[in-house]
Amino acid sequence: MSRAGSGKQTPVVHSSVAHDSAIGHVTGEAVYVDDILEPAGLLHVYFGASSCARGKVRRMDLSRIEAFPGVVAVITSKDVPGKNDISPMHTLDEEILCSGEIHFHGQPLFAVAAESREIARRAVKLAEIDFEEMPSILGIDEAMEQQSWVAEPHEMKRGDPHEAIANSAHHLSGELRTGSQDHFYLEGQAAMAIPQEKGDMLIYSSTQHPSELQHLVAQALDKADNAVTVEVRRMGGAFGGKETQAAQWAMIAALLARQTGRPTKIRLDRDDDMISTGKRHDFRIRYELGFDDEGMIEGLDLELAALCGMSADLSAPICDRAMFHSDNAYYLPHARIRSYRCRTNTVSNTAFRGFGGPQGMMAIERIIDAIAAHLDLDPFAVRMANLYGGEGRDITPYHMKVEDNVLHDLMPELAESCDYHQRRKAVFAFNAGSPVIKRGIALTPVKFGISFTTTFLNQAGALVHVYKDGSIHLNHGGTEMGQGLFIKVAQVVADAFQVKLDQIRITATNTGKVPNTSATAASAGSDMNSMAALDAVNKIKKRLTAFAAGEYGVPEDAIHFIDGTVHIAELSKTFAELVMEAYLARVSLSATGFYRTPKIWYDRETARGRPFLYFAYGAAISEVEIDTLTGENRIRRVDILHDAGRSLNPAIDLGQIEGGFVQGAGWLTMEELWRDDSGALQTHAPSTYKIPVSADVPAAFNVRIWEPGENHEPTIHRSKAVGEPPLMLAISVHSAINQAIASLAPGRSLPKLDSPATPERILMCIQSL
């Protein structure tokens, strides 16, 4: 892959360098929170939770726990000296430990510190708690009926959809439900709290958001933010599940560390992790639309109802992002999009890769498939016809102009290179001769907006030190959860200093080094932190250049950093030599860097703005088959073409695309969260909650980064964010399954297949034809 046009030789940016921890991963030497050698005197923390969906604690007797040998301390909400609150957006609607009304099955009520984890876990089972159960709301339908919200409904509108629909030649309406999804990061939630002098606290946590966790811990301890330091070297996966959900456990550990004066550690068992932490929002989608004979959408009225759980958490921005993506790649001349944020007595749903975007896209992709079925057109043709582009067809329902659409090139390229049209005919021919097994094929695009839609979050900081020997210490506010952020930023820094990658030490994210950071989220980690790090590097380079210019009497523009050497007019020195000279001349070799994403804004009042700096694009073709006797399904082949701009690291980006797609396919086919009538989650471990395994990934899994990709905005080396967008490429799988079912009843309307398309849903959908 070509490099940015600096004319330098070190091919470090845009090259497929291995993950910085690859060797640590394969040898087991990479350290996660639970692997850190514990300080002497460490106590192990566990928690006890509610066993009803809504109610009041009539009596809570913890005396048997207190008396249990090895138990050192027990705390309840009364033992929180500061604010008993974990809400990330200051909605004050979710407590660390429940003090009054219980709002979901699995809500933490008390916590225990003991000499071993085994003792702590056995002890919490000894609690005697009587609940007075109260009527609960467990589903979207009930919440909608009762207008039970965690945040006010929001509406986006453009044009006059009702008139447009009324005047259309064709009308359709329908409903679709998408299921929740557990993050299933392999490393569960974990934190260690180590008391410091003056009541300060050092926290090691597996979190995507150290700054917020720092603030919440401080708030709970009734301290200022500067009393708490949070460090995270790496997470064993996160996917949004450690953006807000990591805080509570660190806070519980910190409260018990404060109470006992001893270091504490908490690590959730998988079942408790799944029961007591939030997940992807379930959605109920209803639509009404009008379109013309060619399948061009003329008017759309869309209702998105999300199951948010018992508190707001991040549900408002998540539901906003669902709205921002319910156009996906298609121009909607007249549209109204209404979003309802349902409060239910279930665990509070939270960020998950895509952040509402996947649900919004499912809505519009279903609509496109329904139009195609209604008019008996190839859905691909309907998709192409409705894409953004052409005279006056470039404004989104939130009034942002789409300036960078590449799908007019990318989609046909994928379709042609992967024989979409011939294969679609082959699928029809196969189905004609196969009464039991049916196939389906679908091509769906992704257009995903990059930037936090809450504008102020789009800022990042970095800290770079150059030591006397020329070695470099790199730090920034982004966290590493496996996505390769650290290596990408290091590549950018190595390129800027023109040194070898191994001269750079990538260091753990730490609130003491870079303050006030945003969560590593919204796919924006490398965009923002690379820019911040580059800013810091440029400051140091500028000082070195000024020093060298003065010292050797040459103009600054005669000084060049190339491939480990600093050329000072005719003279050349190693980077380390110049650094040492600069040190001796008392030049500062440390700098902070900062970045704020330009151009973006959004006004919620008018539902207008430019919430995104740019869009990331991609498309996928999936071919599936289903067994019409059992509903079993398999993905036969997948072809993906994805726009990563000018990829900073193609190997890392390819990994994000492949991994994102498979995670999306899991969400849409097999991952099912099932609660019983009491609101208790019954699929809370990998024995009952099934994420894809290697056999679920087809042998024909062809993933390419789109060669001409280049960000039209001046992002870091013209790359594009790649963390979330590929997940939504998996919508092609769901669409293809629906096509396979539809083949059983040709000429009829599109079958109503909800998600996940488990064998049961597929068979029942077939039965309903």
Partner 1 sequence: MSEGIRFLLSEQIIELLSFDPQLTVLEWLRTEARRRGTKEGCAEGDCGACTVVVGELHDGSVRYRAFNACILLLATLDGRQLITVEDLARRGLHPVQQALVDQHGSQCGFCTPGFVMSLFAMYHDKDRGERPGRAEIDEGLAGNLCRCTGYAPIVEAAREVLVQPAADHFTNRRDLIIRALEDIQPVTAAHVQFEGRHFFSPRSYSELSRLLVEYPAAVMVAGATDVGLWITKQQKRMEVLIYTCNVMELQEVTLDPEQDRLEIGAAVSYTDAMDALSGYFPDFRPLLSRLGAVQVRNAGTIGGNIANGSPIGDMPPPLIALRARLLVRSAAGRRELGLENFFIAYGKQDLRPGEFIEKVLLPLPGERQLFRVYKLSKRFDQDISSVCAAFALVLDGGEVASIRICYGGMAGVPARARGAENALLGQSWSRENIERAKSAMADDFEPLTDWRASSEYRMLAAQNLLQRFFLETTGSETVQLAAKAQAR
Sheet-wide strand order for 565-568: 559-562, 565-568, 571-574
The residue written with tokens 């019983």 in the block is 676
Q: Is 405 in the site for partner 1 (CB under 8 A)?
A: no
Cross-strand partners of 228: 201
Give least dist CB 623 to partner 1, A. 7
Q: Given the rule CB under 8 A, which of 182-190, 496-504, 519-527, 556-564 is the region that contacts partner 1?
A: 182-190
Give least dist CB 760 to partner 1, A. 4
Residue 501: how many other CB atoms lie within 10 Å: 18
Q: Given the rule CB under 8 A, which of 27-35, 385-393, 497-505, 713-721 is the region that contacts partner 1?
A: 27-35
**Phi and psi at residue 151, to the nearest 5°:** -155, 155
Q: Is 270 in the site for partner 1 (CB under 8 A)?
A: yes
Of 331 and 448, which CB lies nearer to partner 1 in the complex structure? 448
Of 20 and 301, which CB lies nearer to partner 1 in the complex structure? 20
Give least dist CB 750 to partner 1, A. 22
Q: Is 255 exposed, middle or buried (0-12, 13-18, 19+ CB in 10 A)?
A: buried
Residue 651: how many other CB atoms lie within 10 Å: 14
SS3 letters across 580-635 = HHHHHCCCCCEEEEEEECCCCEEECCCCEEECCCEEEEEEEEEEEEEECCCCCEEE
Q: Is 184 in the site for partner 1 (CB under 8 A)?
A: yes
Give least dist CB 313 to partner 1, A. 21
Report how far apart, in Å, the C-alpha atoms of 97 and of each of 46, 48, 71, 214, 248 are.
12, 10, 19, 18, 9
Report how far apart, in Å, the C-alpha atoms of 765 and of each of 363, 436, 625 are.
18, 15, 15
**Interface pick for partner 1 out of 240, 309, 461, 655 (rule CB under 8 A):** 655
Give least dist CB 239 to partner 1, A. 7
Q: Is 183 in the site for partner 1 (CB under 8 A)?
A: yes
By DSSP bridging, strand 228-232 and strand 201-205 are parallel
Q: Given the rule CB under 8 A, which of 216-224, 255-263, 275-283, 622-630 is the region that contacts partner 1?
A: 622-630
Q: Are 49 and 106 in contact (CB under 8 A)?
A: yes
Q: Given the rule CB under 8 A, which of 3-11, 167-175, 530-538, 628-636 is the region that contacts partner 1?
A: 628-636
**Interface pick for partner 1 out of 528, 635, 721, 733 (rule CB under 8 A):** 635
**Interface pick for partner 1 out of 682, 712, 714, 769 (rule CB under 8 A):** 682
**Interface pick for partner 1 out of 9, 11, 23, 425 (rule CB under 8 A):** 23
Residue among 619, 641, 656, 628 at smallest CA distance from 732: 619
Q: Are 85 and 96 in contact (CB under 8 A)?
A: yes
- Distance, in Å, from the CA atom of 568 to the CA atom of 156, rounded to the nearest integer, reads 58
Report how far apart, in Å, the C-alpha atoms of 523 and of each of 218, 402, 470, 529 are.
28, 19, 32, 11
Cross-strand partners of 429: none
Of 19 and 541, which CB lies nearer to partner 1 in the complex structure? 19
Give least dist CB 475 to partner 1, A. 20
Q: Is 169 in the site for partner 1 (CB under 8 A)?
A: no
Of 17 and 151, which CB lies nearer to partner 1 in the complex structure? 17
Residue 167: how many other CB atoms lie within 10 Å: 13
Instruction: State whether residue 426 is helix, strand or coil.
Output: helix
Q: Is 422 in the site for partner 1 (CB under 8 A)?
A: no
For every residue of 146-202, DSSP letters joined together read TT-EEEEEEEEEES-HHHHHHT-SEEEEEEEEE-------SS--EEEEEE-GGG-EE
Q: Given the rule CB under 8 A, which of 219-227, 543-551, 632-640, 735-743 is the region that contacts partner 1?
A: 632-640
Give least dist CB 215 to partner 1, A. 25
**Interface pick for partner 1 out of 48, 88, 236, 470 (rule CB under 8 A):** 236
Q: Given the rule CB under 8 A, which of 56-64, 339-347, 479-487, 592-600 is the region that contacts partner 1?
A: 479-487
- In the window 570-609, what residues touch partner 1 (CB under 8 A)? none
- In the window 94-123, what residues touch partner 1 (CB under 8 A)? 118, 121-122
Of 593 and 666, which CB lies nearer to partner 1 in the complex structure? 666
Give least dist CB 168 to partner 1, A. 38
**Interface pick for partner 1 out of 10, 13, 14, 21 (rule CB under 8 A):** 21
Of 94 and 625, which CB lies nearer to partner 1 in the complex structure? 625
Residues 345, 241, 522, 517: is their CA dihedral positive or negative? Answer: positive
Q: Given the rule CB under 8 A, which of 23-31, 503-511, 561-569, 738-746 is the region that contacts partner 1?
A: 23-31
Q: Are 479 and 485 in contact (CB under 8 A)?
A: yes
- Distance, in Å, from the CA atom of 249 to the CA atom of 261, rounded to the nearest integer, reads 17
Give least dist CB 30 to partner 1, A. 5
- In the window 436-455, what residues touch partner 1 (CB under 8 A)? 436-437
Q: Is 483 in the site for partner 1 (CB under 8 A)?
A: yes
Residues assigned a catalytic role: 724
Of 377 and 685, which CB lies nearer to partner 1 in the complex structure? 685
Q: Is 421 in the site for partner 1 (CB under 8 A)?
A: no
Q: Is 481 in the site for partner 1 (CB under 8 A)?
A: yes
Report how far apart, in Å, the C-alpha atoms of 124 and of each of 42, 61, 88, 106, 268 are.
18, 11, 27, 13, 13
Q: Given the rule CB under 8 A, which of 12-20, 91-99, 379-387, 589-597 is the region that contacts partner 1?
A: 12-20
By DSSP bridging, strand 264-267 and strand 228-232 are unpaired
Q: Are 765 and 700 in contact (CB under 8 A)?
A: no
**Interface pick for partner 1 out of 215, 234, 279, 383 (rule CB under 8 A):** 234
Query: For the window 271-310, what string marks contact with partner 1 as x by the rule CB under 8 A?
Result: x---------------------------------------
Q: Given the rule CB under 8 A, which of 298-306, 480-488, 501-509, 561-569 is the region that contacts partner 1?
A: 480-488
**Interface pick for partner 1 out of 4, 8, 15, 18 (rule CB under 8 A):** 18
Q: Exposure string (b/e) for 584-618, b if CB count within 10 Å is 16 or more?
A: eeebebebbbebebeebebeeeebbbbbbbbbbbb
Of 516 and 768, which CB lies nearer to partner 1 in the complex structure? 768
Query: For the window 29-68, what string marks contact with partner 1 as x by the rule CB under 8 A?
Result: xxxx-xx-x-------------------------------
- For 248, the enclosing helix (H) or strand (E) is helix 247-260
- In the window 701-740, what residues touch partner 1 (CB under 8 A)? 701, 703
Of 565 and 683, which CB lies nearer to partner 1 in the complex structure? 683
Of 224 and 693, which CB lies nearer to partner 1 in the complex structure? 693
- In the window 250-269, what residues touch partner 1 (CB under 8 A)? 269
Of 328 and 483, which CB lies nearer to partner 1 in the complex structure? 483
Applying CB under 8 A, the site for partner 1 has a residue count of 96
H-state helical runs in 261-356:
270-276, 315-324
Cross-strand partners of 614: 450
Q: Report residue 82 as tokens.
A: 């500061």
**Interface pick for partner 1 out of 60, 375, 558, 697 (rule CB under 8 A):** 697
Residue 634: how many other CB atoms lie within 10 Å: 15
Residues near 445 by beta carbon (within 8 Å), at least 6 away in sequence: 328, 329, 383, 387, 407, 410, 411, 617, 618, 619
Q: Report residue 604 as tokens.
A: 């919620």
- Distance, in Å, from the CA atom of 664 to the CA atom of 686, rounded to the nearest integer, reads 17
Q: Report residue 599 as tokens.
A: 């151009």
Query: For the window 340-379, what string marks contact with partner 1 as x by the rule CB under 8 A?
Result: ----------------------------------------
